[in-house]
Amino acid sequence: AQSVTQLDSHVSVSEGTPVLLRCNYSSSYSPSLFWYVQHPNKGLQLLLKYTSAATLVKGINGFEAEFKKSETSFHLTKPSAHMSDAAEYFCVVTPYTGTASKLTFGTGTRLQVTL
């Protein structure tokens, strides 16, 4: 069994300030974890992924996330927010091994960036 909890449904930051979007997971197996971003009227786009290699993962557009097994967390961060980062972000978990077909999505965090 697996699940993912995004701790904030909405986060608002000022442009140029750090971003933190929180994600906790549970999984019976070693997980693969992903962050996807959805801009308005668009499909989801992969930001970054963790697949049991380095625990600090760098993605596109300056985002990164750190896998912390002891805390079962995979929080998404960015040092300095840009207006174009305003979107909805989804944390996703799936088992790492085997022919896994089931992905579990979080309920999403809407990031607002203000001037």
Partner 1 sequence: EAQVTQNPRYLITVTGKKLTVTCSQNMNHEYMSWYRQDPGLGLRQIYYSMNVEVTDKGDVPEGYKVSRKEKRNFPLILESPSPNQTSLYFCASSAGRPLWGNSPLHFGNGTRLTVT
Cβ at position 80, least distance to partner 1 in Å: 26
- Rule CB under 8 A: choose which of 65, 108, 111, 113 binds partner 1: 108
What x-and-dash track marks residues 76-95 binding partner 1 by CB under 8 A?
Answer: --------------x---x-
Closest CA to 55 of 41, 69, 35: 69
Stretch that binds partner 1, among 11-19, 20-28, 60-68, 100-108 (CB under 8 A): 100-108
Q: Facing residues of 114 across strands?
A: 14
17 binds partner 1 (CB under 8 A): no
CA distance 11 to 5: 15
Q: What is the DSSP string of 23-73?
A: EEEEESSPEEEEEEEE-TTS-EEEEEEE-SS-SEEE-GGG-EEEEETTTTE
Stretch that binds partner 1, among 20-28, 30-38, 59-67, 68-76 (CB under 8 A): 30-38
28 binds partner 1 (CB under 8 A): no
Closest CA to 66 of 90, 35, 44: 35
Stretch that binds partner 1, among 12-20, 67-75, 78-86, 101-109 (CB under 8 A): 101-109
What's 99's DSSP letter?
S
- Rule CB under 8 A: choose which of 7, 22, 51, 66 binds partner 1: 51
